[in-house]
Amino acid sequence: ALQDDTVIAGALNLFSSDTLFGRYWGCNQDAEFLHFEACYYQGIEFCIEKGLKKFDAGAQGEHKVKRGFRPINTWSNHWIKHPDFRVAINRFIKSEAEQVKTNIATTSQWLPFNSRE
């Protein structure tokens, strides 16, 4: 994003033949709704222009649902060297799984379009 010919924000997205993957963004000053413009609206326009079928806007963010991004499980892999941390993190992930499932079901009801199921 530019303001008076000066870059004030930007988003880093990667894309494949059919999907735009939104990952990182940053700004050097606050501007209302700048995050949504840089991270979502510009990405949606890019998908339309390039004929991409999907836009993966990244993990987390209930604000994404109101902008049409369906909540889904996001997977990642991590190697934890310390055995005690590995056990503790595994325990947390297992306890978190049910909360995530409930959150997805709840926030899916907020989508701004009808389900086609």
Locate the DSSP E strands across 4-115.
6-7, 9-15, 19-27, 54-56
pTM tops 0.85: no
What pLDDT, in 10s, does the model give residues 7-25? 999 999 999 999 999 989 9
Tokens of 7: 């870059």
Tokens of 58: 């990244």
What pLDDT, in 10s, does the model give residues 27-84? 999 899 999 999 999 999 999 999 999 999 988 878 888 888 889 888 888 999 999 9
Tokens of 113: 């379009």
State the residue for tokens 């993990």: 59
